[in-house]
Structure 1
């Protein structure tokens, strides 16, 4: 890990430390918001002592991050326009990273201070969209290409549908519990359990399910939200020390050959579909030379970009054998080919079977560009866990007592957590970032309605208002910071 500072000037080294610290602060505050939701029910229902709950939650978060892959991490990264991703090592790229991090952190701190279960995912995604739009306006790009709108639409739908699914799913599950276990002690609140049964803890089986479902929420939270921090750290590393991180330095000869083969197959794929794609990709006519200086991704240069990738990777066993500048160039080419393939798929000219083949080729192309070192994963997991241990109290109180007009019953806690595990788990399968806060809070609200407990209108109004304002507030803040940064840099 520490060798990444070798050869850096003092200014660049300090920039790297500050940027990495900001990402970890974001994940630390994410622990206030999101991971605290994962342990809210077990702490509120006295199923586990607080410090044991947050310790086990941290372990499950760690496992979730380690075992969850990097699909969600790069789903977040690819919200950014490809032109910014191609030139991250420029001052513009660094201004982007700092602007969106500061905007998301500022919003998360403010909502946490007031104990509002706001969404860290919304804050981060809003900040990314703000930077993308500001970059488009400042560089005279069409707004339509300032952001990867296809990916933004997928993520937006996931963020909208997941809390609705949490609300309905948890409510229906609670109704099932009430029908199957009428009169059971699982329908008591902790206060009722203490007053009527003179017992502090839930019944054994209810307690076991509450604990297991809470740890499962922590696991899927780590495999979803934790990856957002991984993606941000990789943006920082590629932007500040590109020579070491533009391509996975641990890539095996097989992985490099797989990337080489994917480029060759992609060329064959386009040629087979020349009738539909010929004009868009300039598959006929004389070859178009790649720009000699700064590389811009142009579908008209696709075949030449493929040829350049194959030329650099032919017979290569290790990326260390390439000069640093060439490594950066190969990464730009691979990002461009992936972005062009995504646009080709969206044209609607290919049948479903061919689009599936194109998705597989895209996955092979990104084998050595979409990765994360183990120390990055561990650092993010630790930041999440520590944040949970420090800041859980405010959010636990809101989830347990301030959403409904009466305290949460054991059955309600179980229904909300089981539903959250299912909703977030499905999102992980499709590499879609969702909000643990929204899913779990909506699930609790759904159980309150199903239990006819009623909702505390003031709390619900505050939560909904925070959800509605998060996107525009973070977009405006990050766009303003980005514009100010470029003005100060003279870029």
Structure 2
């Protein structure tokens, strides 16, 4: 880890340390901002003592980050267009990272202070979109190319539909519990339990389900939200110290061969589908073999890009043997090939089986570019886990008492938490970032409606307002900060 500091200017080292610290600060805030939602029901229902619940939640968040992989991390990274990812320089990279993080941290702290369950996922995505759009405006790039709109649509859909699903599934689950056991004590609130049964804690089985589901929510939250911090740190490292991080220098000979084989098979795939793809990729036509590092990813340059990559990787068994410039070139080739393959996969004339083969080739292509060093994963896990252990009280009160007109019952808490676990778990399978905050709070709201408890208009209005305003506010804030930083660097 220390090796990549060698040969760097002092100001670059300081900037790098500050940028990583900013990311870890964001994850720390994310811990006490979002994870309060994971323990809100278990604390409110008195299934666990607050400090024990928060400690265990922090531990499960930590484990979630360690074991969650990097699929969601790179879903976040690829919100930015591939051209911005391959052409970023040190100053530009610093401006981009500091702008989006400053915007995200400011919004997160503001909503936490007022006890509003706003989404860190929305916040981060809005901040990334802001710097992408600002970059397009500054460099006279068409807005359509300023960000990866297809990725925005995919992630936007998951962020919009997951709370709706949380509302509906939680409501249905509660109705199922009421039908199954209408007279059960699980339909009591903590106050009713204390007054009628003179007991402080939920019945044993309800308590067990509440505790287990709270910890699973914490685990899947860590595996989803923690990856966003991993993606941000990788943006920092690639933008500031590209020679060390554009490729996974710990890649084995097998992984490099897998990348090389995927490139060769991709060429064969295109040739096999020449009738469908020949015009789009300009296959077999005279093409410019000169591929400067600053060029954009043009599908018509696919053949020379493939040939250049195969030539560069010929005989390579260890990425350390490549020069810094060659590593950057290899990453640029791989990103461009993956970007083109993604576009090819959306051509309607291409058969379903061919599209499936193409997706498998894309995974092999990116095996040495979509990665994160263990120290990055560990640092994010620690920041998120430690952040979980403070600052939870404001949001717990909102979730437990201020969404519905009555307090939450044990059955409502179980329904909301089980639904949240399932929703985030499925999102992790598809590598989609979702909001723990929105799913859980909408799940609680769904159970309140199903229980005919009614909703508190003021709280729901504030949550919806934060939901609606988060994206435009963070887009505007990060774009403005990035524009000012770019002017200062000019």
TM band (smaller chain): over 0.9
The Cα offsets for residues 303-354 of structure 1, whole Å up to 9 and x where unpaired, read as 1111111111122111111111111111111111111111111232311111
Secondary structure in 2 aligned to 1:37?
helix
Secondary structure in 1 aligned to 2:458?
helix
Counterparts of 1:313 and 1:4, CA distance in 2: 23
Deviation at 1:278, TM superposition (A): 1.5
CA contact (8 A) 1:36 1:395 kept: yes
Within 5 Å, which residues of 2 pair with 1:70-469? 70-469=70-469
CA contact (8 A) 1:73 1:227 kept: yes
CA contact (8 A) 1:58 1:381 kept: no
Counterparts of 2:51 and 2:366, CA distance in 1: 41
Secondary structure in 2 aligned to 1:466?
helix
Does residue 474 (structure 1) correspond to residue 480 (structure 2)? The answer is no
Does residue 13 (structure 1) correspond to residue 4 (structure 2)? The answer is no
Secondary structure in 2 aligned to 1:390?
coil
CA contact (8 A) 2:166 2:419 kept: yes
CA contact (8 A) 2:293 2:329 kept: no
After superposition, the CA RMSD in angstroms is 1.1
The Cα offsets for residues 107-131 of structure 1, whole Å up to 9 and x where unpaired, read as 1111011000000000111111111
Counterparts of 2:299 and 2:91, CA distance in 1: 26
Counterparts of 1:437 and 1:102, CA distance in 2: 21
Secondary structure in 2 aligned to 1:250?
coil
Counterparts of 1:388 and 1:108, CA distance in 2: 14
Which shows bigger deviation, 135-144 or 212-221? 135-144
Counterparts of 1:263 and 1:128, CA distance in 2: 30
Counterparts of 2:215 and 2:399, CA distance in 1: 17
- Name the counterpart of 2:63: 63
Secondary structure in 1 aligned to 2:47?
coil
Deviation at 1:279, TM superposition (A): 2.0
* Aligned length in residues: 490
CA contact (8 A) 1:288 1:300 kept: no
Query: Which runs of no fewer than 5 residues in structure 2 stay unpaired?
Result: none
The Cα offsets for residues 13-65 of structure 1, whole Å up to 9 and x where unpaired, read as 11001100110111111112211111111111111111211121122112211
Deviation at 1:76, TM superposition (A): 0.5
Secondary structure in 2 aligned to 1:227?
helix
Query: Which runs of no fewer than 5 residues in structure 1 stay unpaired?
Result: none
Deviation at 1:293, TM superposition (A): 5.0
Counterparts of 2:11 and 2:451, CA distance in 1: 59
The Cα offsets for residues 212-259 of structure 1, whole Å up to 9 and x where unpaired, read as 000010111111111000000000111111111111111000000000
Task: Give the structure-1-normalised TM-score.
Answer: 0.98
Counterparts of 1:94 and 1:271, CA distance in 2: 41
